[in-house]
Amino acid sequence: MMDTFNFTGVVVKEDQGFSSICLELDVASQGETVARAKTMLLEAAALHLEGAFEDGLCYLRPVPLTTIRARPHRTKWWRPSTSK
């Protein structure tokens, strides 16, 4: 059986391309398009989780509301699933 985790992904438009961050994991990436930023973030999150599980480390971080509300007008939200 495979465990599934649901995390929040945020994509922010930058001057050149898009930045993406998983708030619960404090993992970030980037891409030239929204789709590429999402794909790269999923890869970064999977690698982060894999390393944390292998080393027995905590993988979550609390997310302050000020971070979530920082730039709502330039933010796109989605809920990616990452399998363990």
Q: Could you read off the pLDDT of 14-64 as tens digits, one per residue?
A: 999 999 999 888 899 999 999 999 999 999 999 999 998 888 877 777 666
**Domains held by the chain: number:** 1
pLDDT of residue 17: 95
The pLDDT-based confidence of 8 (bands split at 50, 70, 90) is: confident
Residues 38-57: b if buried by 16+ CB within 10 A, e if exposed: bebbbebbeebbeeeeeeee
pLDDT of residue 84: 45
pLDDT of residue 68: 55
Amino acid at 72: P
pLDDT of residue 77: 52
Domain that holds residue 47: 4-83
Taking the C-alpha atoms of residue 71 and residue 39, their distance in angstroms, rounded to an integer, is 22
CATH value at residue 79: 3.30.160.250
